[in-house]
Amino acid sequence: MVNTKVELCGITMDNPVVPASGTFGFGYEFAELYDINCLGTFSFKGTTKEPRFGNPTPRIAECEMGMINAVGLQNPGVDAVISTELPKLKACFNKPVMANVSGFSVEDYAYTCERLDSCEQIGWFEVNVSCPNVHGGGMSFGTSPEAAAEVTKAVKGVTTKPVIIKLSPNVTDIVSIAKACEEAGADGISMINTLLGMRIDLKTKKPVIANKMGGFSGPAIKPVALRMVYQVFEAVEIPIVGMGGISSAEDVIEMMLAGATAVEVGAANLVDPFACRDIINDLPRVMEKYGINSLKDIIGGAH
C-alpha cells in the first residue's frame, strides 16, 4: 500500500494535490461535482482588503498549450469572505484550507491576513506577491527581494498560521527573492505564478485581452516551473509548493522530484473540473509504476 501523505509547514495532508487559487473559487462550487475532501487542501480565490470587480472584459484568451488570463483579482473582499464564503465552505470541506491573499500596499497584506488569522478553517496563508494582472500592486512586490521581504515581515508580524509567499517567474533571479523571503520569516515558498503573455486578434489587429497582457498558464510553462523549483530547492530550507502546467499524476511526481512538498493544479481545473480528483485517484498507480512507496521520500529526489 503506497503512502501519499505529506507534511506542509507542520500540517499533514492526505496527498500533495492542491487546486490553485483562482481556479477553484471558494471550493463549494466544485463540491457540487464531487467530494472535495479527497484533496490535500486547496488555495481559495485571491482575497483583498476591499471588494474588487477585476479587470475589464475580455480577460481570458486561449492559446497553444495554455491560456492567458487577466481577471484582476475579482473577489468580494475579506469581510465577505469571512462572513459568507467560509461558512459555505465549512458545510462541504472538513480540512484546513489555504487562504490566498493579495494587496496593493504592505498595510493591505497585513490587514487582510490579520483579519483571516482567527478563522479556524484556515491552515496556511499563501501570500501572493506575484499577480501579473494588477496595476500598482501584486507583482510589483514580488520583483525585488527587499519588497518581498517587507511584505513577509509585515504578514508574519500579525499572523499565527504558516505563511507561504507566492513568487513571480517574471524576474531575473527568483532564487534571491526566495532567500529574502526565507530570511524575513516565511514558512514556505509557492511557485510559480503565471508568466506574462499576450494574444493579438488578426481581424481587429488589437490585443485580445482588454488589459493587453495577462498571466500565461498551462502545460507549456511546466519546464520553466520545474527549473525554478529545482533552483530554489537548492537555496532554501523551507518547503516549496510547486505549480505550473500540472495536469497529471506524473506531473505531480516530477514536480516533487524537483523539490516541491505539495503541488498546485491551476489551468487544468478550468479545462476539466474533475482534474484534481482524477490526479489523486491515479497517484497510487503511478507511484507503483515507478517504485515509489511514500511520496514524502521523493521530495527533492532529483538533486
- DSSP string covering the chain: --B--EEETTEEESSSEEEPTTSSTTSHHHHTTS-GGGSS--BPPPB-SS-B--SPSP-EEEETTEEEE-----B--HHHIIIIIHHHHHTT--S-EEEEE--SSHHHHHHHHHHHHT-TTEEEEEEE---TT-TTSGGGGGSSHHHHHHHHHHHHTT-SS-EEEEPPSSSS-HHHHHHHHHHTT-SEEEE--PEEE--EETTTTEESSTTS-EEEESGGGHHHHHHHHHHHHTT-SS-EEEESS--SHHHHHHHHHHT-SEEEE-HHHHH-TTHHHHHHHHHHHHHHHTT-SBGGGGTTTT-
Nearest to 261 by CA among 156, 152, 161, 162: 162
How high is the pLDDT of residue 37?
98
Compute how many other C-beta atoms are within 10 angstroms of the C-beta atom of residue 217.
Answer: 27
In tens digits, the chain (303 residues) has pLDDT values of 999 999 999 999 999 999 999 999 999 999 999 999 999 999 999 999 999 998 999 999 999 999 999 998 899 999 999 999 999 999 999 999 999 999 988 999 999 999 999 999 999 999 999 765 555 455 678 888 999 999 999 999 999 999 999 999 999 999 999 999 999 999 999 999 999 999 999 999 999 999 999 999 999 999 999 999 999 999 999 999 999 999 999 999 999 999 999 999 999 999 999 999 999 999 999 999 999 999 999 999 999
Domains of the chain: 6-54+71-194+217-298 (3.20.20.70)
Q: What pLDDT is stored for residue 141 in this prediction?
A: 83
**Among 9, 113, 131, 276, the one annotated catalytic:** 131
Q: Position 119: which residue type? A: C
Rounded to the nearest 10 degrees, how much is the dihedral formed by the CA atoms of 213, 62, 227, 300?
130
Q: What is the pLDDT of residue 33?
A: 98
The answer to whether 244 and 222 are in contact (CB under 8 A) is yes
Q: Which pLDDT belongs to residue 142?
A: 84
pLDDT (0 to 100) of residue 138 = 53
pLDDT of residue 135: 52
What's the confidence (pLDDT) of residue 130?
Answer: 77
Query: For position 175, what pLDDT does the model report?
Result: 98
Predicted TM-score (pTM) of this structure: 0.96
Instruction: Look up 131 and say whether it is catalytic.
Output: yes
Confidence at residue 134, expressed as pLDDT on a 0 to 100 scale: 52
